[in-house]
Copies of this chain bind each other. A is one copy, B any other.
Amino acid sequence: MTVRTPDPNPGWLDETELTAARARLPMIYVEAIPVRLDDYGRVVEVGLLYRADTSGNFRYSFVSGRVLYMQSIRDTLMTHLEKDLGTLAMPQLPITLQPFTVAEYFPYASSSGLTDDRQHAVALCYVVPVRGDTQPRQDALDVAWMSPEQALSPEITNEFEGGRGKLVTQALAWANWGF
């Protein structure tokens, strides 16, 4: 959802079938914004995935994954946190499934300001504290840790695809930030 690589998890559908389904059904996703907390629960750093596009510009994204058939939200979160942050990240999954927001992506005519060329998607968005080390994946996505102020700056929020930068504001507002 966040990057234009082939979907690594087609579930029980092959690529052709998944493409067909995407043209007629909304897909369910989870999105996670990794953070580092101090001992008092305050957000000290925000972890954003990024990679340079062909023009050398940075494109930021979140940990994100489609909920597969018969897979729970918590399993989906864990699978994609491990895939994008490595197995030593030690993420702390949320106690409640109540997300800080629900993001609606549309391929066109978006009423939410969020777009996804490939599909109509509904994403449950969570902030996930990470205690361990994060490791770059092989396939180009890296993790950038930055202060909340940096993460909220237009230089960063404008470099997300599909308007996702506004989810940074929403996540940090939920964590008591705001300007």
CB within 8 Å of B: which residues of A? 11-13, 17, 21, 23-28, 35, 37, 39-43, 67-75, 77-78, 92-102, 104, 106, 109, 111-112, 120, 122, 124, 127, 129, 157, 165-170, 173-179
Contacts and interface: CB of A to CB of B under 8 A. Distances in A.
- Chain A binding surface, main DSSP class: loop
A99 B96 contact: no
A97 B9 CA distance: 27
B24 A78 contact: no
B37 A95 contact: yes
A30 B59 CA distance: 32
Please tell me how many copies of the chain the complex holds. Answer: 4
Contacts of A43: 95
B25 A95 contact: no
A101 B96 CA distance: 8
